[in-house]
């Protein structure tokens, strides 16, 4: 035991030297904190301990360091891993001899779980070109996943039937909540525990607290003239607003109880089925479509939230979108044509200018008049600098190739080059049709038709 | 969490600290951690020894480190997987902290909407389970298969198997810690076996000195209260009654509910439940005849032997569901409600035991159109457990659970517990909850299925 203790001190000091070797002042003796964890001696500096944040047990230790070495009655091996995480910001490879669950529980005790989340489920680690299908999350009972909601750091909520199953950021733990819905069509994560939930056969939008077994915090209803129940078609949000499309119209909820209604005077009664916030333009994109005798018709509207006016509007008559998304990073909106099944983009920077052909087809233009409706059921989502588009059971990844800007079109903006590639390996192809694509942390989540599970796509180099 | 922190920082006082040398490995912990295993444990005794040198314990240090982890943080580390549940259990028993270990490895609260099939318990021989009982409520289960009783403990580890003198056990109840009461529809009497020592303790028969026809009565169902065992006895000429048997002496204390058995309204109850709040017994019987199913549910006061309430099905013309008799009924003891599942429509109905009238049933339907069409199955079985109603219809297993709408009274929602492929394993014959487990036995299938909820996501690597 004595020799073992000495080596621990030596290695801790070495680490300290590494960290501070570029500092002019060598670590002074008074800065060194000695901690006895479950019988093993650890030494570190106050600076390292304060990195853990003011609420953590570590920073409390550094405050009490004047009183001599502290004894913490916890497991020393897990402590040494968390101390390495604190020193370097990433987990040492020896952490792999433990389950992630052990580290999560231990980090909760020391109140440094956020450091672990940062090192393992950080959205900055999302790498579109390096995503592989790594995990399948099974869902109990017989219902298939209907809607998916995620938080930026990878908490995942999946609705199936009348239930919502929530997975924590590590995807190690789950809990299931029973809701009042028969089936959930739209869901949005407001905070780790709060979700906004709506369905096309349920009157009103519910805000549920999933930590309190699905306690309904608030039911929001559109107070329309007829006083009839209005059902939720889509939910979207910006940093501080929640948008909901009720039947044919949508309103943002600034604070609970205060709301404004936009679009009540719409001549077309097409409800918005997708709402996306465009941060850099301060507008919300609302899109909806319905099929009539002359084919699928749709419209895309951009609403200025402050004024409540429509800024731009697209009327979709030929090859209407099957699904549509907007990418702030690429300053473009992307759609899949319902007839052609091809991906189109429209540059947001050109929307103000006149020009009746804003959509640029990225594939075979001749298929626009297709009668086969190849685009039915396709999903398109933008995340980071890429656009993900599902076609049947496969997923296309569209990315912009930045070319020489000398080739210019008449409008003055350079012609943009987008290229696609199929995601996954041959064995992942030709699965059931993709029903949801969602992104959270460094992961992509995929649900498929008739499957009681969620696929997790993750970069192979990362992860525990 | 706040407490743990305030505990751990002042613990730097050396007087609180204890050094242990377990099998040559040094551990340092605090008195309060060691005492958290319980005041009578070996570890809390060790913590009070007046010693400054490490206290030597001649046990395996690896298992000790797992158990110390458990005491410190209230859950098991992943390294516990290196040891079998039995090893951990034995070692925890040695240190006197078995109750802590039991809490840590017990499954989380059973939630029917989030339960999955965990395993099947297969008895070694005569695997088709004729009856089972999980009354001990710690997740252990007593299984009757053929003429044998097998007992599986809270870890579902096989403890013992007893060969009884019966050819086929059709009802079993775990009435005392080591005592099972068993009955058979082919052999008369209620029989008691101690399964820890594999000993036959005796039998009880229904006799009547004034009526010689009361002879060779067979047991059709068994229930128990903390002090008494209730068993229905059914004579070959169909006369039947419920006998109350004292648990300490195993002698008959009284007889209630004697009836002739001449019609479906007075056959022997096939299911008995004791209500702890009122002390009443609820019995139900279902018979199938030429005109479909019929049956009754009856409540007795065991002290006076009088019938407090009863309902007969198919009811008279007043009943809202004429001709749709129940296939199975069960009591939700905690919620003080009675549930039945109809044999023809398959509908579920609930009755409030506090407000029993002639036709107390409220029929419940799921709002979801795809879940509200059920269709009848006369083989349906119903079991109430932890405020949830589990129903087996042919091979499929469903749960009715209350939604949380903030108020006290939520609606019941129907969800499947199983997957379609689970339902192909056979017709469900019996469902019973015990501890946080659900046990399911199927027609002509070997073994009993164990269903549990889990906090673990169960992610599968691909």
pLDDT tens digits along B252-289 = 999 998 998 888 888 999 999 999 988 999 999 998 77
Q: Is 70 exceeded by the pLDDT of residue B401? A: yes
Domain B2-105 has CATH 3.40.47.10: no
Give the residue from chain B lying closest to A41, CA to CA. B28
Q: What is the pLDDT of residue B12?
A: 47
Interatomic CA distance for residues A136 and A445, integer angstroms: 10
Interatomic CA distance for residues B307 and A416, integer angstroms: 85
Interatomic CA distance for residues A270 and A393, integer angstroms: 28
Q: Predicted confidence band at B62 (pLDDT cuts at 50, 70, 90)?
A: very high
Task: State chain B's mean pLDDT as an integer.
Answer: 88
Q: Is 60 exceeded by the pLDDT of residue B96? A: yes
Per-residue pLDDT, averaged over B206-216, amounts to: 89
pLDDT tens digits along B171-191 = 999 999 889 999 999 999 999
Sign of the torsion angle spanned by Cα atoms A192, A196, A200, A203: positive
- For residues A126 and B47, the model is more confident at A126
Per-residue pLDDT, averaged over A306-311, amounts to: 80
Residue among B368, B437, B449 nearest B135 (CA): B437
Q: Is 60 exceeded by the pLDDT of residue A316? A: yes
Q: Which residues of B touch A71 (CB under 8 A)?
A: 11-12, 14, 17, 28, 30
Contact B403 A140 (CB under 8 A): no
Token pair recorded at residue A263:
């679009």
Q: What is the pLDDT of residue A257?
A: 36
What one-character DSSP code corresponds to residue A58? H
Q: How wide is the angle at C-alpha B418 spanned by C-alphas B131 and B139, nearest 5°?
A: 45
Q: Which residues of B touch A133 (CB under 8 A)?
A: 462
Q: Predicted confidence band at B11 (pLDDT cuts at 50, 70, 90)?
A: very low
Interatomic CA distance for residues B400 and A79, integer angstroms: 45
Interatomic CA distance for residues B311 and A4, integer angstroms: 76
pLDDT tens digits along A343-365 = 999 988 877 665 556 788 888 87
Q: What is the pLDDT of residue A371?
A: 74
Per-residue pLDDT, averaged over B299-316, amounts to: 86
pLDDT tens digits along A61-101 = 777 766 667 888 999 999 999 999 999 888 888 888 888 99
pLDDT tens digits along A251-271 = 555 433 344 555 444 444 567
Interatomic CA distance for residues B281 and B286, integer angstroms: 17
Q: What is the pLDDT of residue A5?
A: 36
Q: Which residues of A touch B31 (CB under 8 A)?
A: none
- For residues B114 and A61, the model is more confident at B114
Residue B355 touches chain A, beta carbons under 8 Å: no
Give the residue from chain A lying closest to B18, CA to CA. A39
Q: Is 80 exceeded by the pLDDT of residue A410? A: no
Which run of H or of E encompasses A286? strand A283-292
Residue B72 touches chain A, beta carbons under 8 Å: yes
Distance (Å) of CA A250 to CA A247, A253, A289: 8, 10, 15
Residue ranges, CATH 2.130.10.10, chain B = 112-178+192-210+286-453
Q: How wide is the angle at C-alpha A301 spanned by C-alphas A200 and A307, nearest 5°?
A: 105
Residue among A174, A60, A261, A63 nearest A453 (CA): A174
Q: Which residues of B touch A134 (CB under 8 A)?
A: 461-462
Contact B462 A136 (CB under 8 A): yes
Query: Across the interface, which of B29, B367, B416 has its CB nearest the CB of A142?
Result: B416
Of the listed ranges A21-35, A134-148, B206-220, the least confidently predicted one is: A21-35
- In DSSP terms, A301 is beta-bridged to A286, A313
Residue among B197, B156, B155, B157 nearest B180 (CA): B197
Burial bucket for residue A25 (CB in 10 Å: 0-12, 13-18, 19+): exposed
Query: Across the interface, which of B26, B111, B114 has its CB nearest the CB of A39?
Result: B26
Q: What is the pLDDT of residue B376?
A: 65
Q: Is 80 exceeded by the pLDDT of residue B20? A: yes
Per-residue pLDDT, averaged over B366-391, amounts to: 82
Q: Predicted confidence band at B233 (pLDDT cuts at 50, 70, 90)?
A: very high
Per-residue pLDDT, averaged over B202-229, amounts to: 92
Task: State chain A's mean pLDDT as an integer.
Answer: 81
Interatomic CA distance for residues A189 and A236, integer angstroms: 10
Q: Is the ipTM of this complex over 0.90?
A: no
pLDDT tens digits along A156-181 = 999 999 999 999 999 999 999 999 88
Interatomic CA distance for residues A122 and A152, integer angstroms: 8
Per-residue pLDDT, averaged over A314-339, amounts to: 89
Q: Predicted confidence band at A4 (pLDDT cuts at 50, 70, 90)?
A: very low
Burial per residue of B57-94, b for 16 or more beta-carbon CB atoms within 10 angstroms, e otherwise: beeebebbbbbbbbbbbeebbebbeebeeeebbebbeb
Note whether A174 and A160 are within 8 A (CB).
Answer: no
Of the listed ranges A2-11, A71-80, A391-400, B391-400, the least confidently predicted one is: A2-11
Q: Is 80 exceeded by the pLDDT of residue A22? A: no
Rounded to two decimals, the pTM is 0.88
Give the residue from chain B lying closest to A132, CA to CA. B462
- For residues A107 and A296, the model is more confident at A107
User: What is the Rg, in whole angstroms, of the alpha carbon atoms belonging to chain B?
Assistant: 26
Per-residue pLDDT, averaged over B160-181, amounts to: 93
Q: What is the pLDDT of residue B408?
A: 57
The ranges assigned to domains in chain A are 28-121, 126-459
- Regarding the domain delimited by A28-121, which CATH topology (the fold level of the hierarchy) does it fall under? Potassium Channel Kv1.1; Chain A (3.30.710)
What B12-15 contacts at long range (C-beta under 8 Å, 24+ apart), as own/partner pairs, is B12/A67, B12/A68, B12/A69, B12/A70, B12/A71, B14/A71
Q: What is the pLDDT of residue A12?
A: 39
Burial bucket for residue B138 (CB in 10 Å: 0-12, 13-18, 19+): middle
Q: Which CATH architecture has domain A126-459?
A: 7 Propeller (2.130)
Preferred mutation among A73, A181, A424 to probe B, highest tally of B CBs within 10 A: A73
Domain B112-178+192-210+286-453 has CATH 2.40.30.10: no
- For residues A245 and B323, the model is more confident at A245
Preferred mutation among B110, B407, B456, B459 to probe A, highest tally of A CBs within 10 A: B459
Distance (Å) of CA A351 to CA A277, A281, A332, A356, B213: 16, 12, 10, 10, 97
Contact B406 A216 (CB under 8 A): yes
Q: What is the pLDDT of residue A375?
A: 87
Query: Across the interface, which of B29, B113, B454 has its CB nearest the CB of A178?
Result: B113
Q: Where are the alpha helices (DSSP H) in B37-187?
A: 42-47, 61-73, 85-95, 98-105
Interatomic CA distance for residues B352 and A445, integer angstroms: 45
Q: Predicted confidence band at B294 (pLDDT cuts at 50, 70, 90)?
A: confident
Q: Predicted confidence band at B344 (pLDDT cuts at 50, 70, 90)?
A: confident
How far A170 CA sits from the closest chain B CA (Å)? 10
Burial per residue of B100-120, b for 16 or more beta-carbon CB atoms within 10 angstroms, e otherwise: bbbebbbbeebbbbbbbbeee
Residue ranges, CATH 3.30.710.10, chain B = 2-105
Q: What is the pLDDT of residue A244?
A: 81
How far A377 CA sits from the closest chain B CA (Å)? 22
Residue B82 touches chain A, beta carbons under 8 Å: no
Residue A14 backbone dihedrals phi, psi, to 5 degrees: -60, -45
How far B76 CA sits from the closest chain A CA (Å)? 8
In chain B, the largest separation of any two C-alpha atoms, in whole Å, equals: 85
- For residues A64 and B74, the model is more confident at B74
- For residues A252 and B26, the model is more confident at B26
């Amino acid at each position: 035991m004595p020799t073992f203790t000495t080596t621990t001190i030596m290695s801790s000091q070495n680490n300290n030297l590494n960290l501070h070797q570029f500092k002019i002042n060598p670590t002074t003796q008074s800065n060194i904190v000695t901690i006895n964890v479950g019988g093993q001696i650890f030494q570190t500096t106050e600076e390292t301990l304060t990195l853990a944040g003011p609420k953590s047990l570590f920073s409390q230790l550094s405050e009490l360091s004047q009183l001599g070495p502290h004894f913490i009655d916890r497991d020393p091996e897990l402590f040494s891993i968390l101390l390495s995480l604190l020193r370097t910001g990433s987990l040492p490879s020896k952490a792999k001899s433990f389950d992630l669950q052990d580290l999560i529980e231990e980090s909760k005790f020391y109140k440094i779980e956020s450091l672990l989340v940062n090192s393992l489920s950080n959205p900055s680690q999302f790498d579109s070109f390096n995503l592989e299908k790594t995990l399948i999350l099974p869902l109990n009972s017989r219902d298939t996943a209907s809607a998916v909601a995620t938080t930026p750091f990878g908490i995942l909520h999946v609705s199936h039937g009348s239930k919502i199953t929530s997975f924590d950021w590590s995807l190690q733990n789950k809990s299931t909540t029973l809701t009042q819905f028969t089936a959930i069509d739209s869901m949005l994560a407001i905070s780790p525990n709060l979700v906004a939930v709506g369905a096309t056969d349920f009157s009103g939008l519910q805000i549920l607290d999933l930590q309190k077994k699905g306690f309904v915090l608030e039911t929001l209803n559109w107070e329309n003239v007829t006083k009839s129940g209005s059902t939720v078609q889509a939910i979207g949000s910006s940093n501080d607003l929640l948008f909901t499309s009720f039947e044919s119209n949508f309103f943002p909820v600034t604070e609970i109880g205060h709301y404004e209604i936009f679009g009540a005077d719409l001549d077309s009664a097409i409800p918005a089925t997708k709402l996306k916030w465009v941060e850099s333009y301060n507008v919300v994109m609302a899109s909806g479509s319905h099929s009539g005798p002359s084919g699928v018709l749709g419209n895309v509207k951009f609403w200025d939230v402050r004024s409540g006016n429509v800024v731009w509007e697209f009327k979709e008559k030929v090859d209407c979108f099957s699904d549509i998304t907007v990418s702030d990073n690429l300053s473009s909106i992307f759609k899949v044509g319902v007839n052609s099944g091809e991906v189109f983009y429209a540059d947001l920077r050109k929307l103000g200018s006149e020009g009746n052909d804003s959509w640029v087809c990225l594939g075979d233009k001749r298929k626009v008049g297709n009668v086969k409706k190849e685009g039915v059921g396709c999903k398109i989502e933008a995340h980071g600098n890429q656009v993900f588009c599902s076609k049947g059971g496969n997923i296309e990844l569209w990315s912009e190739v930045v070319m020489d800007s000398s080739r210019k079109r008449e409008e003055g903006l350079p012609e943009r080059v987008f290229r696609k590639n199929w995601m996954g390996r041959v064995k992942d192809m030709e699965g059931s049709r993709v029903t949801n694509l969602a992104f959270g942390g460094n992961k992509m989540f995929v649900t498929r038709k008739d499957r009681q599970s969620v696929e997790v796509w993750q970069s192979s180099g990362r992860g525990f | 969490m706040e407490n743990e922190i305030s505990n751990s920082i002042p613990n730097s006082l050396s007087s609180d600290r204890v050094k242990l040398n377990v099998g040559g490995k040094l551990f340092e912990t605090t008195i309060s951690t060691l005492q958290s295993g319980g005041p009578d444990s070996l570890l809390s005794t060790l913590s009070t020894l007046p010693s400054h040198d490490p206290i030597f314990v001649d046990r395996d240090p690896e298992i000790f480190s797992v158990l110390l982890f458990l005491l410190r943080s209230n859950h098991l580390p992943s390294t516990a997987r290196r040891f079998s549940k039995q090893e951990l259990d034995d070692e925890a028993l040695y240190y006197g902290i078995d109750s802590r270990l039991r809490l840590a490895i017990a499954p989380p609260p059973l939630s029917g909407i989030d339960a999955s099939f965990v395993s099947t318990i297969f008895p070694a021989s005569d695997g088709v389970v004729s009856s089972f009982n999980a009354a001990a409520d710690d997740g252990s289960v007593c299984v009757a298969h053929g003429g044998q009783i097998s007992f599986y403990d809270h870890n579902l580890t096989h403890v013992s198997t007893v060969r009884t003198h019966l050819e086929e056990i059709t009802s079993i109840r775990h009435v005392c810690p080591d005592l099972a009461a068993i009955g058979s529809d082919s052999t008369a009497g209620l029989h008691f076996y101690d399964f820890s020592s594999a000993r036959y303790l005796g039998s009880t028969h229904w006799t009547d000195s004034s009526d010689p026809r009361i002879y060779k009565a067979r047991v059709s169902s068994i229930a128990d209260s903390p002090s008494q065992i209730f068993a229905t006895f059914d004579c070959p000429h169909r006369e039947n009654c419920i006998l109350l048997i004292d648990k300490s002496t195993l002698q008959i204390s009284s007889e209630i509910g004697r009836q002739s058995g001449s019609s479906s309204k007075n056959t022997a109850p096939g299911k008995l439940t004791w209500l702890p709040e009122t002390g009443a017994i609820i019995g139900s019987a279902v018979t199938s005849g030429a005109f479909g199913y019929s049956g009754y549910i009856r409540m007795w006061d065991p002290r006076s032997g009088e019938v407090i309430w009863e309902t007969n099905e198919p009811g008279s013309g007043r009943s809202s569901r004429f001709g749709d008799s129940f296939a199975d009924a069960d009591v939700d003891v905690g919620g003080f409600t009675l549930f039945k599942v109809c044999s023809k429509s398959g509908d579920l109905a609930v009755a409030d035991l506090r407000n029993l009238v002639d036709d107390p049933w409220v029929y419940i339907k799921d709002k979801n159109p795809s879940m509200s069409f059920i269709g009848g199955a006369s083989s349906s079985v119903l079991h109430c457990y932890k405020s949830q109603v589990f129903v087996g219809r042919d091979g499929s297993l469903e749960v009715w659970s209350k939604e949380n709408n903030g108020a006290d009274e939520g609606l019941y929602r129907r969800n499947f517990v199983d997957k379609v492929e689970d339902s192909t394993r056979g017709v469900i014959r019996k469902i019973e909850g015990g501890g946080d487990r659900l046990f399911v036995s199927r027609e002509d299938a070997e073994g009993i299925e164990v269903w549990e909820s889990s906090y673990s996501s169960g992610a599968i690597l691909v």
